[in-house]
Amino acid sequence: MAPRITRLLSSALLVGLSLAQAAAGQSEVKKKVPERLPVYEVVKRGATSAEAEALAKQLGIPSKDILSESGAIAFIDPTRFLSLPEQKIPESKRLEEAIETTSNKDSSRKITPSILNVSALRKLHALPEESAMSKAAAAFKEAKLTPQFGKAIVGHDQLSLYSFDGKRNILGGALPIDTQVTYRFTEPGGYPLYGPGAQTQVTFDAAGHVSRLFYATRTLRATGSVHVIPQEEANEHIARLFPPNTRIMSRLVYFAPPLSNSQEGRVGTLIPWYAYIGIRHLTNPRTGVTAEVKSKIGFMPATDDRHLVPLARISAEGGSHVHATVSVEGGRPPYRYIWGGSSSATHETTEPSIDYTPQIRVTESLLRDPAFNLHRDETLSVTVIDANGISAHEIFTVPAELQPVFPEPRGKSDPSFGSENPGDPLHWVAARIAWNAEMSTPGGGATLSFDWLGDNAWPGDFIRPTPAGTLVPTPWVYGDADFSNWGVDTADIVLDNADGWSDGTVLMQPGAPAADYATASISTPVSAQTVSINGNGYGTPASYSVNYNGSWGPIGPNDTLEWLLLDDCDMLDLVDGSGLNVAQRWGPAFGGLHVLTGFASLGYGDGPFEGGVADNVLGIHGPAQTIVQSWFNSAAATSAGTAAAMGPAIEIMPDIFICDSGDFFWGKGPVGPTLVPASYPPAEVAFWYMSETTPMEYLF
């Protein structure tokens, strides 16, 4: 591998892709890549205080505290954004029973459901698209904030309510609940300008009030040009981040980092990047059926000009303790360093070195297995990010003696969080670190329950063991979701930071090399084979039929899970390739889970999205938002993907349903009752589903 390309690669950030989207991406691969492209100087960043006040006045929103230090304008009204018609909570025996059986971690508030009144919802009419477009355009013009290179499109957040079997939409179709105006950016050469620093969005509720505003864009000026790495050469080296026989698709873009890249540096220059995905085919050894698995979107600089792009070199020592140092040249100091390894002690820092104890998750049965060895190669990584948000990625392998990790039980009374990170340390380390760091914010109200990395992130983390509360001999297959603090059910809110597709998510298995990600997967509970091991050829492939109906929720011996966040693409697509909708695919897994969020598109995650979700949930930089609002708001603000969410609803009287769509995190606002679909007659059970019609991810 040529050193200049190896060290240019940024973290591979993976997600799913439809066949139609794949075809669109393939056409981009065939487009002739120019030898040189412009470099853009940042002339202005975001808005001034006067411009922010003028825009607020035009849109009828309060101007106090809407402008950040970086120049981004951010406003959300939690009472209006994604709001549904307000309803008085009716008296109901069903509701009383649900409230009585719900464990309340916020003694200052009563358990309070969200109400879905079908008649009222059918009468809801979103603001006409033409009105929304004209109001937004006029406001930006009057405030002198019409975004450079931007073109407005219009769409909606929409709600569906599916019957228990998913065969009927009780609302009669997808109901628009608001109207959103979103700007897409294309520089003069026709290449997308994409990322957290290229966003302009306004959302109007049904009454025409602004419920959400986000403005984070720059004024740019071309200043010279830069040599572009040939696409074929770039694709060859990108492919080495993936297992063999992975097909690479890429296209040129201008990636726009957040307006404020760090405390020390402000982004002053934008350069061309390659956006890419990897596509693999895995064959089920039991059925012979081949599935197409796509990765999240990754980005790498499209030039190796050392004046603009940093070069990183790692040196490291292993054993029972790992010490690593990175040297950097080029780019624009100061630098930030994001370290990845087998320990969750790896983190983001301004120091170019790290020390940690390599770890591995074990069971007694694993330690007795003669094929299982604590002496193995430890893979570590570092992503260096300069003051312009341009990154260099480097990996290194050292021999190590791993420290066995036996998780201990934790108390269930304190609000907690967790994360699953099977791609670590090669993929999405920044996403994991941002989520964990923000959820751990002092005073925020949450403590870490588990943080599984690499081959410590198992399919069994999503499966309730039989019997419940035990550790079965092969928990990576048959479940440990409610044993000790081992799986997703043992934290209140969990982020799954992985690859996904409409019918499943990818994971790892004990002992699997990081380079062979992903060696395991879990499919929808309605699939014939739900767990696959060694699916990409590592070891002996095997597949298992594991019934995990009702596995997700807070009702088992160690269970606390209310909110599961799928940072995986396409898992909440409306329908899969077989025509099954989200209620039919994922509804059977609900065993008290309040809300499941995800994407109805491809996506990417590199920290701003995941950290933003945590900030919104905890109310770190403003009023706390509901779980659903936090997910949709951060996804739109970063273009991470087209947000979606779902959850159960119970009909307590004709056309009146209770649900948890308005849940806040514990201590931040009202939380609804724990609803276990299996506890009610099927005729009384439904699933609500919220999604966007505006594709927030549109590169492939």
| CA gap 74, 19 in Å, rounded | 35
Binned at pLDDT 50, 70 and 90, residue 539 comes out as confident
If you average pLDDT over residues 217-227, what whole number do you get? 97
Phi, psi of 634 (to 5 degrees): -70, -35
Predicted local confidence at residue 679, as pLDDT: 96
If you average pLDDT over residues 567-579, what whole number do you get? 94
What architecture (CATH level 2) is domain 311-404? Answer: Sandwich (2.60)
Percent with pLDDT over 70 in the chain: 94
Q: Indicate if the alpha-carbon torsion angle 405, 410, 414, 416 is positive or negative.
A: positive
| CA gap 458, 508 in Å, rounded | 5
Predicted local confidence at residue 265, as pLDDT: 60
If you average pLDDT over residues 578-604, what whole number do you get? 96
- Give residue-wise pLDDT tens across range 406-449: 887 777 788 999 999 999 999 999 999 999 999 999 988 899 99
| CA gap 172, 167 in Å, rounded | 11
pLDDT at 370 over 60: yes
DSSP 524: -
Binned at pLDDT 50, 70 and 90, residue 181 comes out as very high
| CA gap 673, 212 in Å, rounded | 27
Contacts of 90 (CB under 8 A, 6+ apart): 115, 652, 653, 656
pLDDT at 229 over 60: yes
Q: Indicate if the alpha-carbon torsion angle 339, 343, 344, 349 is positive or negative.
A: negative
Q: Please report, for residues 94, 329, 588, the alpha-carbon distance to residue 101 in angstroms, rounded to integers and kept in the order given.
A: 11, 59, 21
| CA gap 519, 337 in Å, rounded | 28
Give rounded-to-5 percent helix, strand, coil for the chain. Answer: 20, 35, 45
pLDDT at 13 over 50: no
Q: Which amino acid is at 409?
A: P
Residue 19 burial class via C-beta count within 10 angstroms: exposed 0-12, middle 13-18, buried 19 and up: exposed
- Reference 564, options 660, 641, 472, 470; nearest CA is 660
Binned at pLDDT 50, 70 and 90, residue 243 comes out as confident
Predicted local confidence at residue 669, as pLDDT: 97
- Reference 536, options 290, 279, 283, 288; nearest CA is 283
CB 201 within 8 Å of CB 223: no
CB 460 within 8 Å of CB 476: yes
If you average pLDDT over residues 190-219, what whole number do you get? 97
Predicted local confidence at residue 29, as pLDDT: 43
Query: Token pair for residue 650?
Result: 């119970």
Domain segments of the chain: what residues? 3-44+222-301, 47-84+124-216, 311-404, 415-577+586-649+685-692
Q: Count H helices and E strands in the chain, helices first.
A: 13, 38
Query: Token pair for residue 193?
Result: 């300008």
Predicted local confidence at residue 261, as pLDDT: 67
Binned at pLDDT 50, 70 and 90, residue 2 comes out as very low
CB 307 within 8 Å of CB 386: no
pLDDT at 285 over 80: no
- Give residue-wise pLDDT tens across range 104-149: 999 999 999 999 999 999 999 999 999 999 999 999 999 999 999 9
Q: Which residues make beta-bridge pairs with 283?
A: 290
Specify the residue for token string 């628009």.
Answer: 176
Predicted local confidence at residue 559, as pLDDT: 94
pLDDT at 27 over 60: no
- Give residue-wise pLDDT tens across range 545-561: 999 999 999 998 899 99
Predicted local confidence at residue 538, as pLDDT: 80
Average pLDDT, the chain: 91
Phi, psi of 299 (to 5 degrees): -135, 140
Residue 101 burial class via C-beta count within 10 angstroms: exposed 0-12, middle 13-18, buried 19 and up: middle
Predicted local confidence at residue 344, as pLDDT: 87
| CA gap 244, 490 in Å, rounded | 36
- Reference 302, options 390, 215, 385, 412; nearest CA is 390
Question: How many CB atoms lie under 10 A from the CB of residue 315?
Answer: 12
CB 550 within 8 Å of CB 676: yes
Predicted local confidence at residue 601, as pLDDT: 94
If you average pLDDT over residues 571-577, what whole number do you get? 94
Buried residues in 617-628 as b, exposed as e (16+ CB within 10 A): bbbbeeebbbbb
Predicted local confidence at residue 386, as pLDDT: 95
The separation between CA 454 and the C-alpha centre of its own chain, rounded to angstroms, equals: 17
- Give residue-wise pLDDT tens across range 620-661: 999 999 999 999 999 999 999 999 999 999 999 999 999 999
Among 17-31, 290-304, 427-441, the range scoring the smallest mean pLDDT is 17-31
Specify the residue for token string 């590592």.
Answer: 538
Per this entry, what is the length of the chain?
700
Predicted local confidence at residue 25, as pLDDT: 37
Among 152-156, 198-202, 256-260, the range scoring the smallest mean pLDDT is 256-260
Query: Token pair for residue 133?
Result: 């477009």
Binned at pLDDT 50, 70 and 90, residue 19 comes out as very low
If you average pLDDT over residues 13-29, what whole number do you get? 33
Specify the residue for token string 């807070």.
Answer: 554
Strands (E), 271-425: 272-283, 290-294, 298-301, 311-317, 322-329, 336-340, 348-349, 353-356, 359-361, 375-385, 391-401, 403-405, 416-421
Predicted local confidence at residue 1, as pLDDT: 28
- The DSSP H or E segment spanning 151 is strand 150-155
pTM above 0.75, yes or no: yes
Say which residue, 464 or 32, is predicted with more confidence.
464
Say which residue, 371 or 403, is predicted with more confidence.
403
| CA gap 139, 120 in Å, rounded | 31
CB 510 within 8 Å of CB 476: yes
Q: Maximum CA pair distance of the chain? A: 72
Buried residues in 500-538 as b, exposed as e (16+ CB within 10 A): bbbbbbbbbbbbbebebbbbbbbbbbbbebbbbbbbbeb
Q: Which residues make beta-bridge pairs with 565?
A: 495, 597
| CA gap 645, 564 in Å, rounded | 10
pLDDT at 323 over 70: yes
Pairing mode of beta strands 563-567, 493-497: parallel
